[in-house]
A and B are shown apart, each in its own frame.
Chain A
Amino acid sequence: MASGKYIQVYLDPKQGIMMETIEKTMNIAVDWFRYSDTNWVVYTTSDINKWHGRLKKFADPDGNLFICELNINNRNGWMTKDFWVWLRKDR
């Protein structure tokens, strides 16, 4: 079984894209958490390029999309309790 990793996704979609449509694609991931209307932490077994391919259609041509791997072992911040609980989950 492939081991999962966390990625950070910033997706500011192009006009006319509904959140439900994006969520449907995000649901391909093992798990995800959206902490603002454009920022997602995704736990996935797929690589960054695959996610780029999956999400590009929501941003192209005038939206924004940024994806990068996330090392959650070195973390801190000020977030809602649900977020920390989600991050600490055993996977």
Chain B
Amino acid sequence: MDYDLNKIIEKASSVKLPGGVFGKTCTVLIVVSLAMFGIAWTARNVWISSAALIMIFILVFIMLWRLINFANKNPQAAILEGSEFLLHEHMQLAAKGIPHLPKIPTLYMEDKPIQIEPEQLQSLNTPDENAGEREVVNG
């Protein structure tokens, strides 16, 4: 089969990956996969080649699975670079005259702490009155 390696590399280099954990890990995955493929290609031993190809499949499958899960839970961290991420975090909390407010988990609280009685706990998931009138397709 005729193929031009330079053209393939040129096309691969034009693929734009976002930054952040997602972009970095994808780059590493591509490099590792290419290295494994190189080993599989040059080994001339069916067992080594098969093992390398299986390892590429397992590695890519597991890493992409974990990356997508991570990106679902932390979309900003997944695609933003370190400094961009910090800037984004800074941009979240502010007030007039106070450009940056700290976003510290221990500083989060209720305005008026509430006590929920055990019998009230059971009613938390009770739907509102008339809530069942509309059909829920994504419920």
Among B28-36, B42-50, B92-100, which stretch is in contact with chain A?
B92-100
B115, chain A: closest CB distance, angstroms: 12
Contact partners of A77 in chain B: CB under 8 A = 110-111
Option from B92, B95, B96 in Cβ contact (under 8 Å) with A36: B92
Size category of the binding interface on chain B: 10 to 19
Partner pick for A79 among B91, B96, B108, CB 8 A cutoff: B108
**A76-B111, A82-B101 given; A31·B95 CB < 8 A:** yes
Cβ distance B105 to chain A, nearest Cβ, rounded Å: 9
- Nearest residue, chain A, Cβ from B109: A81
List which B7-51 residues lie within 8 A (CB) of chain A.
Answer: none
A32 touches B (CB below 8 Å): yes
Q: Roughly how many angstroms separate A19 CA and B106 CA in the complex, as a whole number? A: 26
Any B CB within 8 A of the CB of A21 = no
Instruction: Give the chain B neighbours of A32 by CB distance below 8 A.
Output: 95-96
Residues of chain A lying within 8 A (CB to CB) of residue B93: 34-36, 80, 82-83
Assign chain A's interface to a size class: 20 to 34
Cβ-defined contact, B96 with A80, below 8 A:
no
A86 within 8 A of B: yes
A-chain residues with CB within 8 Å of residue B111 when the two chains form the complex = 75-77, 79, 84, 87
A28 to chain B, nearest CB (A): 10
User: A-side interface residues toward B, CB under 8 Å?
Assistant: 19, 23, 26-27, 29, 31-37, 75-84, 86-87
A-B contact pairs, 6 of them (CB 8 A): A32-B95, A77-B111, A78-B110, A79-B111, A80-B107, A81-B108
